[in-house]
C-alpha cells in the first residue's frame, strides 16, 4: 500500500528540492512530478510528466497515476524564465481550479497540500500587528500575487467543503529565503543599494527553504500522534527583523524615497520589464507583516529549525558582502574605541574594556 505523490510546479527550485526530498521517504512509492516546462535540475528519479495544469489533461494524469496525495506548489509570484504576469496569474488561478476539479473527480485522492503565502493578509497600517490564521484582512489585496493567493484559497475552501473526505492543508508561507531561494524578496535583497520607503521601517519575517521543505513533508504525510495536519497554517521562523536591520546585516546601504516616488518608480520599472517590483511588494516594504505561528507549533507540531534572524544570516552569507559590510563598520568603531584621545590619558583601562 504505497503512496503516490503528485507534485506540481517542479520546475522551480522549491518544487525540485521537495520532489528529491520526499522520494527518500520510506512510505512513498512513487512521485509524479508535473510542470509545464521541463526542469533544469534533476528530480532524483521521479516520474516527470510535462503537462500544463491549466489544461484538463491534468485530470487524466491524476487518474492514470492514481495519486493519493497532491502537493500543489505551482502558486507563485513570479514567472519562470520568460512569461508575463498574465501567464502567472492564469497558472495560479485557472491552474488551481483545474487541479481541484481533477482532484474532485478522482476517487484516489486522500490528501491535498496547497502552498499559499502570508500575502493573503495584505499589508495595511490599520491591520493588527500580528496576524493569526483567523484574522480577516482589513483591506483585501487589490491585485497581483496577493489577490491570486486569496482566490486560490477561496477555491481550496470550496473543494474542502465538497470533498470532506480529503484532508486539505493550506500552508501560508512567509517570505522564503535561503541560499537558493528565488523569491522576489531575495532578488530585492540582492540589489547593491536598497530603495526603501522614507519614514517606514517594516517588520519582516522569513521562512528558511529547509524548513519549508520539512513542513511540506509533514503536511503531505499522515499526521503524527497528537498533531493535526489539515487546516490552514502560518509558516514563519521565530522573531522579527526590521528592514533597517536587514540592510545593516547585509551591509547594503539604503536609499529612502518618498512613498509616491517609490510607487511611481515601481510602476516604471515594471513597465520596462526589468524586475518584478509589484505593488504588494511595495506595501510589504512599507507596512511589513508579522504572522502568529502558534498553530504551526501546537497543532501541526512543526518546529522550524531556523529563526527569522538565522534564516537571514544564512541568506546574507550566501550573497557575499555588500558595499558596507557590517564587519568593516564594527572594525571602524573598534578602532575609534581604541584611540587614546577619547579616554583623556587612560589608554590601558580603555583597551581593557
Interacting residues with other proteins (CB under 8 A): 125-130, 132, 135, 197-201, 203, 239-242, 244-249, 259, 287-288, 290, 292, 326-327, 329-330, 333-334, 336-337, 342-344, 346, 349-350, 353
Decide whether 63 or 309 has the Cβ nearer to other proteins: 309
Is 27 or 334 the residue whose CB approaches other proteins more closely? 334
For residue 188, the minimal CB distance to other proteins (Å) is: 17
Smallest distance, other proteins to C-beta of residue 167, A: 29
**Cβ of residue 203: shortest distance to other proteins, in angstroms?**
5
Report the alpha-carbon distance of residue 296 to residue 56 in Å, rounded. Answer: 34
Q: How far apart are CA 299 and CA 87, in angstroms?
A: 36
Considering the complex, what minimum distance in angstroms separates the CB of residue 331 from other proteins?
A: 9
145 versus 315: smaller Cβ distance to other proteins: 315
Rounded to whole angstroms, the Cα distance separating 106 from 56 reads 13
Give least dist CB 117 to other proteins, A: 19
Helices 85-105 and 144-162: crossing angle in degrees, nearest 10, is 10
Task: Please report how close the Cβ of residue 50 comes to other proteins at its closest, in angstroms.
Answer: 44
Instruction: Residue 232: name the closest of 146, 100, 93, 115 by CA.
Output: 115
Query: Residue 200 corresponds to which cell in the numbers above?
Result: 517606514
- Supply the angle between the helices 85-105 and 57-65 in degrees, to the nearest 10: 40
Name the DSSP class of 64: H
Give me the residues paired with residue 172 across strands. 116, 234
Query: Cβ distance 251 to 321 under 8 Å?
Result: yes
Torsion of CA 314, 318, 322, 328, to 10 degrees: 60
Minimum CB–partner distance for residue 215 and other proteins (Å): 20
* Residue 43 beta carbon to other proteins: minimum distance, rounded to whole angstroms: 38
**Mind giving me the DSSP string for 261-295?**
HHHHHHHHHHHHTS----HHHHHHHHH---B--HH
Contact (CB, 8 A) for 59 and 101: yes
Kindly state the smallest distance separating residue 149's Cβ from other proteins, in Å.
21
Kindly state the smallest distance separating residue 281's Cβ from other proteins, in Å: 18
Q: Measured from the CB atom, is 162 or 346 closer to other proteins?
A: 346
Cβ distance to other proteins smaller for residue 82 or 353:
353
Task: Rank residues 224 and 346 by Cβ distance to other proteins and give the closer one.
Answer: 346
How far lies 157's CA from each of 117, 154, 205, 346, in Å? 15, 5, 26, 70
CB contact set of 28 (below 8 Å; sequence gap of 6+):
2, 3, 5, 22
Q: Which lies closer to other proteins via its Cβ, residue 81 or residue 345?
A: 345
Name which of 60 and 329 has its Cβ closer to other proteins. 329
d(CA 30, CA 21): 12
User: Residue 268 or 337: which CB sits closer to other proteins?
Assistant: 337
* Beta strand segments in 36-117, E: 47-50, 69-72, 111-117
Question: Of 42 and 261, which has the nearer Cβ to other proteins?
Answer: 261
- How many CB atoms neighbour CB 50 within 10 A? 12
Amino acid at each position: 500500500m504505497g503512496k503516490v505523490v503528485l507534485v506540481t510546479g517542479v520546475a522551480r527550485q522549491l518544487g525540485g528540492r521537495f520532489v528529491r526530498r520526499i522520494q527518500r521517504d520510506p512510505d512513498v512509492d512513487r512521485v509524479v512530478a508535473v510542470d509545464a516546462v521541463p526542469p533544469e535540475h534533476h528530480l532524483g528519479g521521479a516520474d516527470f510528466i510535462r503537462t500544463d495544469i491549466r489544461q484538463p489533461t491534468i485530470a487524466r494524469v491524476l487518474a492514470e497515476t492514481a495519486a493519493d496525495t497532491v502537493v500543489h506548489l505551482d502558486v507563485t509570484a513570479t514567472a519562470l524564465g520568460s512569461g508575463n504576469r498574465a501567464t502567472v496569474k492564469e497558472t495560479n488561478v485557472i491552474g488551481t481550479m483545474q487541479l481541484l476539479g481533477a482532484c474532485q473527480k478522482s476517487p484516489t485522492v486522500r490528501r491535498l497540500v496547497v502552498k499559499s503565502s502570508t500575502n493573503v493578509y495584505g499589508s495595511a497600517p490599520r491591520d493588527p500587528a500580528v496576524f493569526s490564521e483567523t484574522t480577516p484582512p482589513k483591506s483585501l489585496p487589490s491585485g497581483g500575487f496577493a489577490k491570486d493567493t486569496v482566490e486560490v484559497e477561496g477555491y481550496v475552501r470550496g473543494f474542502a467543503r465538497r470533498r470532506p473526505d480529503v484532508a486539505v492543508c493550506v500552508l501560508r508561507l512567509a517570505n522564503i529565503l535561503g541560499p537558493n531561494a528565488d523569491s522576489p524578496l531575495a532578488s530585492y535583497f540582492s540589489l547593491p543599494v536598497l530603495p526603501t520607503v522614507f519614514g517606514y521601517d517594516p517588520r519582516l519575517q522569513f521562512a528558511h527553504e529547509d524548513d519549508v521543505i520539512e513542513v511540506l513533508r509533514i503536511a503531505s504525510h499522515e499526521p503524527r500522534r497528537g498533531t493535526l495536519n489539515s487546516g490552514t497554517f502560518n509558516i514563519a521562523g521565530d522573531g522579527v527583523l526590521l528592514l533597517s536591520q536587514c540592510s545593516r546585516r547585509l551591509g547594503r546601504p539604503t536609499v529612502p524615497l518618498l512613498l509616491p516616488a517609490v510607487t511611481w518608480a515601481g510602476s516604471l520599472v515594471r513597465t520596462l520589464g526589468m524586475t518584478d517590483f509589484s505593488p504588494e511588494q511595495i506595501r510589504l516594504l512599507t507596512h511589513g507583516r508579522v504572522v502568529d505561528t502558534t498553530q504551526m507549533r501546537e497543532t501541526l507540531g512543526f518546529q522550524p529549525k531556523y529563526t527569522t534572524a538565522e534564516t537571514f544570516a544564512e541568506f546574507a552569507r550566501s550573497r557575499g558582502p555588500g558595499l558596507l559590510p557590517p564587519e568593516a563598520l564594527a572594525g571602524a568603531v573598534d578602532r575609534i574605541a581604541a584611540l587614546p584621545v577619547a579616554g583623556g590619558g587612560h589608554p590601558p583601562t580603555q583597551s581593557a574594556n
